[in-house]
């Protein structure tokens, strides 16, 4: 399979298999006006398989969103056909408007104009809790 190299944009590498589609959706890449390549199950020496995302434009991307889904990825920034930066990510301490609280009793379910905020409360177990009601974020059920 041949995918064109990109002149300017991002190559998000070392994505755990299955996570590229989640990053694609969370970054809302279906609504940007440039080429995007989503490649799954690419052969990898380290992990046998991995996913890859190529974005053909230097758009503003929210690294916290990517790190939330998969903190082990590498974000390569490409300018004039050259990788000018290899960015490693860290699990964000705070998620703002990345996920919605799915507790129906949470104030965020009714209050308008309220940021959806989650705090990292356990780094080792990667547990986030709603800033308001402290409900644990179920990563596979996020709504954005």
In the complex, the residues that contact other proteins under the rule CB under 8 A are 103, 105-114, 121-122, 130-136
Show Cβ contacts of residue 108 under 8 Å, excluding neighbours closer than 6 positions. Answer: 100, 101, 114, 116, 130, 132, 133
Q: How many CB atoms lie within 10 A of CB 56?
A: 19
The least distance separating other proteins from the CB of residue 112, rounded to whole angstroms, comes to 5
For residue 13, the minimal CB distance to other proteins (Å) is 34
Choose between 60 and 111: whose C-beta lies nearer to other proteins.
111
Minimum distance, C-beta of residue 74 to other proteins, in the bound complex (Å): 32
Considering only CA atoms, which of 116, 72, 68, 61 is closest in space to residue 91?
Answer: 68
Residue with Cβ nearer other proteins (93 or 115): 115
Beta-strand relationship, 48-55 and 36-44: antiparallel
- Report the nearest approach of other proteins to the CB of residue 103 (Å): 7
Nearer to other proteins, 30 or 111 (CB): 111
Q: How far is Cα 46 from Cα 44, in angstroms, rounded to an integer? A: 6
When the beta carbons of 68 and 132 are compared against other proteins, the nearer one is 132
């Amino acid at each position: 399979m041949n995918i064109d190299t990109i002149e300017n944009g991002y190559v998000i590498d070392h994505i755990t298999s299955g996570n590229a589609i989640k990053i694609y959706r969370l970054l809302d890449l279906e609504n940007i006006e440039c080429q995007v390549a989503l490649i799954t199950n690419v052969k990898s020496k380290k992990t046998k398989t991995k996913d890859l995302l190529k974005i053909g434009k230097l758009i503003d991307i929210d690294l916290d969103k990517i790190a939330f889904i998969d903190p082990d990825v590498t974000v390569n920034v490409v300018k004039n056909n050259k990788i000018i930066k290899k960015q490693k990510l860290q699990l964000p301490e705070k998620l703002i408007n990345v996920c919605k609280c799915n507790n129906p009793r949470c104030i965020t379910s009714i209050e308008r104009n309220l940021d959806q905020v989650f705090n990292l409360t356990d780094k080792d177990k990667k547990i986030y809790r709603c800033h308001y009601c402290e409900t644990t974020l179920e990563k596979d059920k996020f709504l954005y």
